[in-house]
């Protein structure tokens, strides 16, 4: 049964505002990006979602397409965002099937908890490659089509969003790899805003805090700590997938036409207070001073 629209997008947005538009999204099988694409499709867009798992990408695409009669959503699987040619081929397939790429979301990401002294060079590189290099490859693969769309369209088009985080603003224990990669994404988006702006492209970042119902929050935030964490978020709650969808709709709509090179933080004010801090119940500084293998400490903390 199709989800009620009220669960994934605000009623403030007029249906049909993205009629004729196509969105290309890496990480599109994930919780946050699939919710964003779902909202865009509900409001008129067609879409290509790109993911590592072929069957999951195709399944999620079918589920998203059900939100609007006549919607076309392609699920492109077996796609590693670390491989530039793979994304070039995916973007070309999207255009061949749907006619254009008007919007792009670079949302593929990986993360896990680990203290720096127990973080291997290979593990650090893996997260940087998925998050930052994957974002770069997404932008490179879609930029020619975004430029073409912007030049040909009178409406909103030629826009890219990067999904980042807030961890890099102040630094947090156990996520050196993720924070470093996300800081690079913020810089990448700013550079594209400067260099591609004259070609009609806007480039912006959405930086979520802890979002309820996502794999990231489930893996990085001890389930028993969610209520306690909420007390330290000025808004008084964890974020929702609907919050993330509304942010994407805003940036891609006419309302976001003059927004370029910015970071839209969607965290209820959490980073200002240290709310939403992840650490799996392992207190600081013990989390980084103990020589006990972190996996063992994590297991104990969750028992």
Of the residues 182, 189, 203, 287, which is catalytic?
A: 182
For 205, the 3-state DSSP assignment is strand
Answer yes or no: 72 catalytic. Answer: no
Q: What is the DSSP letter of 117?
A: G
| 182 a catalytic residue | yes
DSSP H or E stretch at residue 92? helix 84-98
Q: What are phi and psi of 237, to 5 degrees?
A: -155, 165
* Cβ partners under 8 Å of residue 119, min gap 6: 176, 177
Q: Which of 186, 142, 148 is nearest to 164 (CA)?
A: 186
By the 8 A CB rule, do 67 and 61 touch?
no
- Joined together, the tokens standing for residue 16 give 């049909």
The count of residues in the chain is: 303
3-class DSSP state of 67: coil
Angle in degrees, CA 270, 274, 276, rounded to 5: 55
- Among residues 29, 157, 164, 245, the one annotated as catalytic is 164
From 58, 103, 107, 106, select the one nearest 211 (Cα to Cα).
Answer: 107
Helix (H) or strand (E) holding 181: helix 176-196
CB 163 within 8 A of CB 107: yes
Residues with a known catalytic role: 164, 182
């Amino acid at each position: 049964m199709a989800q009620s629209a009220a669960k994934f997008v605000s009623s403030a947005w007029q249906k049909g505002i993205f009629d004729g538009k196509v969105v290309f999204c890496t990480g599109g099988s994930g919780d946050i990006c699939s919710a964003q694409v779902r909202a865009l499709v509900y409001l008129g867009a067609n879409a290509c979602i790109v993911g590592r798992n072929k069957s999951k990408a195709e399944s999620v695409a079918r589920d998203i397409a059900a939100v609007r009669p006549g919607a076309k959503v392609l699920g492109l699987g077996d796609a590693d965002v670390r491989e530039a040619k793979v994304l070039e081929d995916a973007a070309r397939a999207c255009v061949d099937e749907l006619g254009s790429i008007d919007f792009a979301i670079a949302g593929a990401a990986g993360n896990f908890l680990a203290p720096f002294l127990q973080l291997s060079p290979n593990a650090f590189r893996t997260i940087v490659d998925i998050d930052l290099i994957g974002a770069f490859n997404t932008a490179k693969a879609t930029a020619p089509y975004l430029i073409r769309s912007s030049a040909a369209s009178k409406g909103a088009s030629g826009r890219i969003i990067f999904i980042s985080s807030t961890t890099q603003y102040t630094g947090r224990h156990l996520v050196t790899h993720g924070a470093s990669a996300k800081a690079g994404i913020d810089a990448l988006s700013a550079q594209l805003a400067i260099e591609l702006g004259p070609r009609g492209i806007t480039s912006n970042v959405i930086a979520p805090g802890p979002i309820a119902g996502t794999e990231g929050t489930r893996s990085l935030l001890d389930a028993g700590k969610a209520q306690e964490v909420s007390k330290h978020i000025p808004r008084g709650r964890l974020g929702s997938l609907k919050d993330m969808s509304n942010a994407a709709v805003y940036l891609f709509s006419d309302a976001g036409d003059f927004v370029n090179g910015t970071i839209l933080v969607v965290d209820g004010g959490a980073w200002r207070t240290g709310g939403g801090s992840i650490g799996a119940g392992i207190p600081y500084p013990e989390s980084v001073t103990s020589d006990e293998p972190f996996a063992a400490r994590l297991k104990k903390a969750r028992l």
